[in-house]
Chain A
Amino acid sequence: MVTGTLRTPRKPGRTAKPTSPGIGTPARGLLPLVLLLVLWELTGDPQSPYFPPPGSWLAGVEPLVDNGKLLPSLGETAITFVLGLAIATVLGALVGTLVGASRPVDRALSPSLEFLRALPAAALVPVAALVLGYTTEMKLVVVVLPATWPILLTCRTARRSLPPVLLDMSRSLGLSRRERTIKVLAPALLPAVLLGIRVAAPLALIITLLVEIVTRVDGLGALLGAAQSNFLSAQVYGLLTITGVLGFVVNWVVTRAENAVSVRMRGTT
């Protein structure tokens, strides 16, 4: 069956743990974290500028809710993240498939692509800010570039290892180029795209927050940076927790999507 080739092998460590707590990892492992938080709550000083206890975090975030900044910021972060990931997916899938389909094209483009890939996202932030200004478009550009790579790589590998018989048979059956792409190639590469998204999504979120923290354009990162500048430690921890929840939700959604599609693609009912 095609499963052996469609599920591209993951490099060790790239996605070290595919499960979320509760699925495969014993829930009792949450004990240390819970204990830590409880201890902190009991022994912490709400007035401490460094370690305000968890109970005070909600109060710390409240002012942002009151002045109507929290939700819009969350929205800005979410939009940049989703849009950036979407663009990265399209770009990565197209270029990856192109490069994977033709060895000569791969050899020609690889060095340039590898060079671009070596530039860390953090280094791109000041560059983008200077060249494109402090705008949402700039945020998008910074997010798209690094998020494209995982998807590009998985699509390239999948396209390379696509059984040649798939395209041969579709040509033999007289399918037009359009039909071949839509009915055969795209579904065959879909699991690879989703695997790439699964790796790229957390990355895209991190970079969205990164660009927001460094440039303070908008979004959760900007709030986080502002809270830190104003020494509002409870607010900092509160916002940190919110980003954590966001990160967890993103991971969960993306993993579920990948699993669902893989099952469908393998044709088991």
Chain B
Amino acid sequence: MISCRDLSVTLPAASGPVHILADVHLDVGEGEFVSVLGASGSGKTTLLRVLGGLQPATAGSVSCDGTPIDGPANGVVTVFQDYANSLLPWRSVRRNVALGIEQQLGKPERDARVDEALDMVGLLERADDYPAQLSGGMQQRVQIARALAMRPRVLLMDEPFGALDAMTKATLQDQLQGVHAATGATIVFVTHDIEEAVYLSDRVVVLSGRPANVGLTLDVALPRPRNQVSTKEDQEYLHLRHKVYEALGHDVGEQAHA
């Protein structure tokens, strides 16, 4: 579905060009849930922005379904970490969710999609409220609903639950699982939370090094649907988690010497 080959991104900075990503190879299959894991500043957000067409690659190629990505692609929607500022405060929840589809669809179909999306994130009864009246977790769900209303084939998520408290995070993680199961969308999920990555994904890709490259790739064959309690006590889960920590810890140690 998504394919990156020799992807490199270099950005200009005051002290000279900074190489963020170098020669990244990544393949994401249709319907897969892939987590991109890495420390802060490791380039994972940059990678996601390239996939989302918000940032051009300096070298290499990125394509979705064979078509090269050179701008926000049809069917690919990004969900951002800064949920509060991503919603339009002067629009109701309903109208926020409709933002991406109102130009293309007529009213009846638009309303149906909005209701469907809000229902999927469990916010249908707050449809006529304004973002300022919602909690952080709810605002993020509205953003997700807005993406879902587009019926995306690919959902790119940039640390979407990073700013939320642990309990809200757990709830939203499970809701996302439900969305994944219901829609079959391909999800690329960026996070620095190791537990979250292993818990949610079919595959974990660890980004490490400076400039960043794909370090460890791990297949997560845990059964679905997953459970916050039982899955996290599963031997296989703990084993995978251990391996990821190792991969990242190794990386940190190397950097300390460099």
Direct contact of A and B (CB under 8 A): yes
State in angstroms the CA–CA spacing of A187 and B133 once bound together: 19
Contact check: which of A163, A166, A172, A184 meets B77 at CB < 8 Å? Answer: A172
Nearest Cβ on chain A to B48's Cβ, whole angstroms? 11
Interface 9-residue window, one of A103-111, A152-160, A261-269: A261-269
- Other than the given A163-B85, A264-B90, A266-B90, 13 more pairs (CB < 8 A) read A1-B132, A2-B85, A163-B86, A171-B53, A172-B53, A172-B54, A172-B72, A173-B72, A174-B72, A175-B103, A187-B90, A267-B130, A269-B130
Q: How far is the CA of A1 from the CA of B84 in the complex (A)?
A: 5
Interface string of B53-82 (1 = CB under 8 A from A): 110000000000000000110101110101
A173 contact from B92, B133, B146, Cβ within 8 A: B146
Q: Kindly state the separation between the CA atoms of A183 and B91 in the bound complex, as whole angstroms.
A: 10
Cα–Cα distance between A268 and B91 once the two chains are bound (Å): 10
Contact-size category for A: 20 to 34
Report Cα–Cα, A269/B147, bound state, in Å.
26
Tell me if A59 counts as interface (CB < 8 A to partner B): no
Query: Looking across the interface, which residue of chain A has its beta carbon closest to that of B128?
Result: A269
Give per-residue flags for A228-269: 1 if the beta carbon is below 8 A from chain B beta carbons, else 0.
000000000000000000000000000000000000111111
| B101 and chain A: residue at smallest CB distance | A173
The answer to whether A268 and B132 have CB atoms under 8 Å apart is yes
Residues of B within 8 A of A184 (CB): 88
Interface size on B, residues (CB 8 A): 30
A173-B150, A183-B99, A267-B130 known; A165 vs B77 contact (CB < 8 Å) = no
What's the Cα separation between A3 and B132 when bound, in Å? 10
* B contact residues vs A (CB 8 Å cutoff): 52-54, 71-72, 74, 76-78, 80, 82, 84-86, 88-92, 99-100, 103, 130-133, 143, 146-147, 150
Nearest chain B CB to A172's CB is how many angstroms away? Answer: 4
Do A168 and B78 touch (CB < 8 A)?
Answer: yes
A169 interface contact, C-beta 8 A: yes
Q: For A3, give its contact among B76, B89, B133 (CB under 8 Å).
A: B89
**Are A168 and B90 within 8 A (Cβ)?**
no
- Which residues of chain A are within 8 angstroms of B130 by Cβ–Cβ distance? 267-269
Known: A172-B78, A173-B99. A166 touches B54 (CB 8 A): no
Given A172-B52, A173-B77, A267-B130, residue A187 in contact with residue B150 (CB < 8 A): no
Q: Which of B103, B131, B146: most chain A CB closer than 10 A? A: B103
With the chains together, A3 CA to B103 CA distance in Å? 27
Residues of B within 8 Å of A174, CB to CB, are 72, 74, 100, 150
Contacts of A154-198 to chain B: CB distance below 8 A: 163, 165-166, 168-176, 179, 183-184, 187-188
**CB distance A171 to B72 under 8 Å?**
yes
Asked whether, in the complex, the Cβ of B89 is within 8 Å of the Cβ of A1, the reply is yes
Nearest-CB residue, chain A, relative to B75 = A174
Using Cβ atoms and an 8 Å threshold, which residues of chain B touch A169?
78, 80, 86, 143
Instruction: Compute how far the CA of A267 lies from the CA of B88 in the bound complex, rounded to whole angstroms.
Output: 9
Q: Among the listed B71, B80, B89, B150, which residue makes an inter-chain contact with A168, where contact means beta carbons less than 8 Å apart? A: B80
Which chain B residue has the least Cβ–Cβ distance from A167?
Answer: B54
Whether A168 lies near B74 (C-beta < 8 A) is no
The 4 closest A-B pairs by CB, nearest first: A267-B130, A173-B100, A163-B85, A172-B78
**CB of B186, distance to nearest CB on chain A (Å):** 15
The smallest beta-carbon distance between B100 and chain A, in angstroms, is 4
Name B83's closest neighbour in chain A (CB-CB). Answer: A165
- In the complex, what distance in Å separates the CA atom of A173 from the CA atom of B75? 9
- Say yes or no: B131 contacts A168, CB within 8 Å: no
**Which A residues are CB-close (under 8 A) to B132?**
1, 266-268
Assembly CA distance A171 to B53 (angstroms): 9
CB distance from B11 to the nearest CB of A (A): 14
- In whole angstroms, what is the CA distance A3 to B89 when docked? 9
CB-CB < 8 A to B89: which residues of A? 1-3, 265-267
Select from chain A the residue with minimum beta-carbon distance to B84.
Answer: A1
A179 with B131, Cβ < 8 A, contacts A163-B85, A173-B146, A267-B91 known: no
